[in-house]
Amino acid sequence: MPIQIDGIDAKILNIIQKDASISVADIADEVGLSSSPCWRRIKRMEELGIIKNRVTILDRTKLGLDFEVFVAVKLALPNRENMEKLERAVANMPEVVQCASVTGAVDFMLRVVTKDMHCYEDFLREVLLSIDLISDVQSRIVLRQTKESNSIPLNLISNAVPRV
């Protein structure tokens, strides 16, 4: 059952999912509250698990990590045990920045970030394909990222948040 939030909570969430470093006073000003009630709302949403983390998003291109690949992974035998084994293995691979179990012709989609094609090939050969559960891997090299966002569409849960 989803946790219900009101329009002010949604506005607060919209603000901090764009910039988690903004001060409580500035958030309060923007949503029309004083600092204390705003802070209490933020703390409540943290305690409820709505706010999971406050992170810094790095520019991977400026750090030389601008080679991105979507990897479709098919398991030889896609049962619960093998899926869980792959999920545990992937959790320890820093190159894999996202992993999703999916429907269709493959079992998992991975988003992999490395320095270049050679690093990806090393990762593929030495790390991913060393897992004997995998029967097929298909790589899709990203030519250009046209949209990348960590924001969730709060307008879908609250009429108080307009589409931007």
Domain ranges for the chain, please list them: 7-56, 67-141
pLDDT score for 2: 83
pLDDT score for 1: 79
Token pair, residue 94, equals: 């820093």
pLDDT score for 159: 52
Domain 67-141 bears CATH identifier 3.10.20.30: no
99 Cβ neighbours under 8 A, 6+ residues apart: 87, 90, 91, 108, 109, 110, 111
Q: Structure pTM?
A: 0.84
Q: What's domain 7-56's architecture? A: Orthogonal Bundle (1.10)
pLDDT score for 49: 94
pLDDT score for 71: 98
The residue ranges of the chain whose pLDDT is under 70 are: 158-164
